[in-house]
A and B are shown apart, each in its own frame.
Chain A
Amino acid sequence: MPETLTTQATILITAASVTAELNGVNEIAKDMTLGVMNAKTISHRAGESAKGFQPITDYIEQVAREVAQSVVRISGGASVLSRLAVSYHHSGKLLTLYRRVLKDAEDATHVASLIPVITMLSQEAQKEQEHFVRDLESLVRQLDAMKNTIRSSKVISTISRVEAANSDAFRKNLEVVADDLESSTEKIRERVQRCHHQLSDVIALVQREDVS
């Protein structure tokens, strides 16, 4: 990110970009569901020779469903992120503004009446920061859970390749299913990884800010 971006702008851009990545993941998960329906038809037609393939298609179906559910959850979190970014930024700005008045009004008779306000604003800003970091960390944890789902789906694509080799007549078709699963898994993994990096960067950025 260029140095000139404010923390708030960086957070808002991250929230938008994470949402876009997750929409991409959702599209891939939809393709996976379509692919698995196709695979089920093929393995059904292949009959006995593709028997080992059937639990695999069930599993792929489950993975696609889990990914789609996680996407819904994490996207909800990402949109909350934009709102939190605004209120986090607002509390920091208020504090800065009141501190400026404290300095400008140093010779004013009643300047001391500002102190309790500034103490309260500072406590609020710190609370806002903690809240924000907590929510970011929870998003990262949900991404980690999605990464685990994806990791096991990679194993399944390897097994399905072995099973495809056992089915002479439908070998080619089932290999295509295994290839699709592998490439979808890889694409999702890359996107989730990017979200993970962006959110971790924001956490570091927010934690570096001194709002006390």
Chain B
Amino acid sequence: MKSTSIYSEKHQWHVFGRDPKKVDGIVDTNQYMIQSGDRTLLLDPGGIEVFASMLTAVLHHVRLEEITDLFASHQDPDIISSLGLWEQALPHARLHTPWVWEGFIRHFGSKKIEYVPIPDEGEILDLNGLKLRFIPAHYLHASGNFHVYDAKAKILMSGDVGAALEEPGAPMFVENFERHVDKMKLFHQRWMPSNRAKQDWICRVRELEIDILAPQHGRLFKGEDVQRFLDWFEALEVGLAIPEPASDTAEAELEAVASS
């Protein structure tokens, strides 16, 4: 598992991903870790299949007992199916997750861990003095969904928003936004169900100062690419798996036939 430091001041951000030991056929994921003094938060710690590589990578940075908090943006298996494995090593850690998903996430073999349900409007987590904001991102793509904003590092961990399905070993950051669009388009059109939810999120996120937008799959966006991404996403029609409704004229014709 490749480990990259993306912010290193008084507190640190790491991204883990591009796992060369990853089993074929499972989608590659980015796992994040924030270290703040003697407290550490793992963000979307990943699926069962990446657990061993992820734990190995994490041990290069922190002792197990320093991992005090876990965050799951939503309930997907690539986000948190490793929970039952993590909690063996972290019986005293707390899991922050959208309140709607608690009973579902427990299906991932979790018995001991303490759940901290995040209310729909979001909340602030104080990680040893570092204030992290859980930003609502409902329906992007899960019906209960949060992102994590660190105002100090100006990083937004954006879950599946900004995700791209990449070749193994792709670089960590977007280098050419125009070329990157092809790798994101279908994913966002299909996985994101609601234009209204998307617009709501865009408005909220435009108010944040963001240097790095850090999705759970594919490359991270930095600098001007963050705004480029927001503009591109704002203009994109999503929720496209449902066929277009019949046109007005076709409907009128059908009505005419029915009433004749």
Residues of A within 8 A of B (CB): 90, 94, 97-98, 100-101, 104-105, 108-111, 113-114, 117, 120-121
Contacts and interface: CB of A to CB of B under 8 A. Distances in A.
Contacts of A121: 88
B110 to A, nearest CB: 13
Given A110-B64, A114-B64, A104 B56 contact: yes
A97 B59 contact: no
A104 B52 contact: yes
Given A94-B88, A117-B88, A101 B52 contact: yes
B62 to A, nearest CB: 6
Interface string B49-67: 0011101100111111100
Contact of B59 (A90, A94, A100, A111): A111
A98 B61 contact: no
Contacts of A114: 59, 64, 89
A90 B85 CA distance: 10
A144 B2 CA distance: 58
A128 to B, nearest CB: 13
Contacts of B65: 113
Interface of B: 51-53, 55-56, 59-65, 85, 88-89, 109
B60 A98 contact: no
Contacts of A105: 55-56, 59-60
A120 B64 CA distance: 14
30 contacts: A90-B109, A94-B85, A94-B88, A97-B85, A100-B52, A101-B56, A101-B59, A104-B56, A105-B55, A105-B56, A108-B56, A108-B59, A108-B60, A109-B59, A109-B61, A110-B60, A110-B61, A110-B63, A110-B64, A111-B59, A113-B59, A113-B63, A113-B64, A113-B65, A114-B59, A114-B64, A114-B89, A117-B88, A120-B88, A121-B88
The prevalent SS among residues of B at the interface is helix
Contact of A117 (B51, B52, B56, B89): B89
B60 A97 contact: no
Contacts of B63: 110, 113
Contacts of B109: 90
Contacts of A90: 109
A92 B109 CA distance: 15
Contacts of A111: 59
A121 B88 CA distance: 8
Contacts of B89: 98, 114, 117
B56 A97 contact: no
B154 to A, nearest CB: 28
B85 A110 contact: no
Given A94-B85, A97-B85, A121-B88, A109 B52 contact: no
6 A-B pairs with least C-beta separation = A108-B59, A113-B63, A113-B64, A105-B56, A110-B63, A108-B60
